[in-house]
Amino acid sequence: MKRFAALYTALDQSTKTTTKVAALEAYFREAPDADRLWTIALLSGRRPRRGVTTTQLRDWAAELAGLPQWLFEDSYAVVGDLAETIALVLPEGEAPGGDTRSLSDWIAEVKRLGTLDEPARKAAVLGAWGTLDRTGRFVFNKLITGGLRVGVSQTLMTRALARATGVPEPELAHRLMGDWTPETVSFESLVLTRDPEADLSKPYPFCLAYQVEDGVQALGSPADWLAEWKWDGIRGQVILRGGQHFVWSRGEELMTDRFPELARLRDFVPEGTVFDGEILGWRDGAPLPFAALQTRIGRKTVPKKLLAEAPVILLAYDLLEAGGEDLRAAPLAERRARLATLTEGLPDEVPLRLSPEVGFDDWAALAALRATSRARGAEGLMLKRRAAPYVGGRRKGDWWKWKVDPLSVDAVMIYAQAGHGRRANLFTDYTFAVWDGDALVPFTKAYSGLTDAEFREITAWVRKNTLQRFGPVRQVPGELVFEIGFEGIQPSPRHKSGIALRFPRMLRWRRDKPAAEADTLESLRALL
């Protein structure tokens, strides 16, 4: 673990990208294959199956540190991270001889924990804490709890690995996609050798868009740009290769079984085809609201009733592969033309549509069209440069989202909770309410949108004005007013207020507004 703990320290201590990449590159050059593989897995959000509950971890840590449980919990509330709290409260000092095991050995140990009975499991965890130093304990705890974040994106990790192995970066990015785990691949098979069998299911790294901020005029001539409606669905790649089909989310989750209707594409689309598009609930030639799709997201398999209530289609907007040929280097205009040919004349029952182009002559005309987005059920527009190749990752310049301004409402903060990670020890997670007669009815939570300075000021206010504590949650007097922005609003029988918001966030702190002038439930319902 020492080598990995040192890497963790180096990544955590630096705020500079170049330093992080250099530290990772050095690690990838030196570490044994099993450790390299697990490091790639951890930094891309994979982790071993959890074999210990967090309750057990808390109880054992408090016991070993000689602390009453309430004091451990209060400390955790301040630190905001369980793995870190445990590492901080345990008595200092690693065992004589220290830790000689590698990262992959420790992961094997973490996996073994799940197979043990409780006394043996406790002995193993206490043994690990006794052997490791503070950073080692922190990493060990994170292996169990998950969420080892070190501020390294998949792109940076891929760059470092490319430098260490000599495999070109785009090639490597592609190889690391998919639903592999360190149990199903080796470092050799994942990173170094091209395995056509494994490549069958792999999606391409997604091209991501930035929000237009400086106005569309800055984009230059309208003729260079293709506009499409931006729908609120699930971004996905649909792959048809080797007589099979695969559906991937942008989060690299394999969703094939959740959308069984897409299997029909196999009957109508030739082999060796990869689409990029939006999976949408669809009825009578128009998209359904996201809420319809939401009913299907959490399910691994979909019952017939739901299939009938919320049927999906793929609204395809890009063609990444045709006839087994990688088209990503071709300009968008050419890819679109081939996509149009491919989707032309398909019977209505095939759940595949071409995302239509939104025609416009100048930016003013497009702005006028954009203003109609909400009425159409769209979030706004997408703008794509016709001459651009398809480049994975988030890169400014070729793809832009031009969303409509959010809906907004002025709401009163009634509960506050401390954040995690960088925001630990600051109250950043708030519950908001609107007036229903004389009562404040909670209707949403929001976490983001304020500056660090505002969060600090509100944190000091929350501490001075706490009415009641419910574990980590503080109830505060309904005094502070915030403008809450959101993208959509739906009726929701599950919520007290009867409504649910899509993408709520704080737009600003309304210091100018007394709580009595905040919005009402009635005015919110009027937006439904």
Partner 1 sequence: MGDMAVLSFTEAGIWCEAGDFHIDPWRPVPRALITHGHADHARPGHGAYLATHAALPVLRHRLGDIRAEGIAYGEARQIGGATVSFHPAGHVPGSAQIRVEVGGEVWVVSGDYKTEPDGLCEPFDPVRCHAFISECTFGLPVFRWAPQAEVAAEIRAWWQANAAAGRVSLLGAYALGKAQRLMAAVGDGPGPILTHGAVEAVTDVLRGQGYALPATELVTPGTDKARLAGALVIAPPAALGSAWARRLGTVSTGFASGWMRMRGVRRRRGADRGFVMSDHADWDGLNAAIAATGAERVFVTHGYTSVFRRWLESRGYDAQVVATEFEGESVETPAREPAAATEAGP
How far apart CA 316 and CA 355 sit, in angstroms, is 6
Closest CA to 121 of 51, 65, 45: 51
State the minimum distance, in angstroms, from the CB of residue 422 to partner 1. Answer: 5
Q: Which is nearer to partner 1, 14 or 165 (CB)?
A: 14
464 lines the binding site for partner 1 (CB under 8 A): yes
Residues 5-34 that bind partner 1 (CB under 8 A): 12-16
Instruction: Write the CB contacts of 53 (distance below 8 Å, at least 6 apart in sequence).
Output: none
Among 21, 24, 37, 81, which residue interacts with partner 1 (rule: CB under 8 A)?
81
Q: Which of 122, 202, 230, 384 is catalytic?
A: 230
Q: Which of 346, 347, 501, 474 is nearest to 418 (CA)?
A: 474
Which part of the chain contacts partner 1 (CB under 8 A), choosing from 88-96, 223-231, 327-335, 341-349? 88-96
| DSSP assignment string, 388-438 | -----EE-TTSEEEEEPPPEEEEEEEEEEEE--GGGTTSEEEEEEEEEETT
Identify which range of 86-94, 168-176, 313-321, 438-446 contacts partner 1 by CB under 8 A: 86-94
Q: Which of residues 401-460 bind partner 1 (CB under 8 A)?
A: 420-426, 452-453, 456, 459-460
Q: Is 384 within 8 Å of 230 (Cβ atoms)?
A: no
Residue (469 or 496) nearer to partner 1, CB: 469
58 binds partner 1 (CB under 8 A): no
Select from 71, 337, 368, 371 the one that contacts partner 1 (CB under 8 A).
Answer: 71
Q: How far apart are the first and last CA of the chain?
A: 54
Angle at 302 between CA 301 and CA 308, to 5 degrees: 165
Residue 498 has what DSSP assignment? S
- Stretches 69-77, 233-241, 277-285, 381-389: which one binds partner 1 (CB under 8 A)? 69-77
Pairing of strands 286-287, 273-283: antiparallel
Closer Cβ to partner 1, 61 or 313, answer by number:
61
* Closest separation in Å from C-beta 429 to partner 1: 14
Does 387 engage in binding with partner 1 (CB under 8 A)? no
| Residue 230 appears among annotated catalytic residues | yes
Task: Give me the residue label for tokens 């919520």.
Answer: 495
- Token pair 């009453």 in the structure block, residue: 68
Query: In terms of CB distance, is 371 or 460 closer to partner 1?
Result: 460
List 18, 68, 196, 325, residue binding partner 1 (CB under 8 A) = 68
> What is the C-alpha separation between 245 and 303, in angstroms, rounded?
20
Rounded to 5 degrees, φ, ψ at 363 are -65, -35
**Closest CA relative to residue 361, chosen from 502, 227, 208, 172:** 227
Choose, by CB under 8 A, the member of 30, 74, 257, 271 that binds partner 1.
74
Q: Where are the beta strands (DSSP E) in 131-230?
A: 207-208, 210-211, 225-230
Contact flag: residue 92 with partner 1 (CB under 8 A):
yes
Instruction: Using the minimum distance from each CB to partner 1, give the nearer residue, 16 or 396.
Output: 16
CA distances from 428 to 445, 502, 504 (A): 10, 19, 14
Total site size for partner 1, rule CB under 8 A: 36
Residue 147 binds partner 1 (CB under 8 A): no
For 431, half-sphere exposure in the C-beta direction (CA atoms, 13 angstrom radius) is 16
CB of 156 to partner 1, least distance (A): 17
| Least distance (Å) between residue 479 CB and partner 1 | 17
CB of 4 to partner 1, least distance (A): 17
Active site residues: 230
Please give the residue ranges that form the binding site for partner 1 (CB under 8 A). Answer: 12-16, 65, 67-68, 70-72, 74-75, 78-81, 84-85, 88-89, 92, 420-426, 452-453, 456, 459-460, 463-464
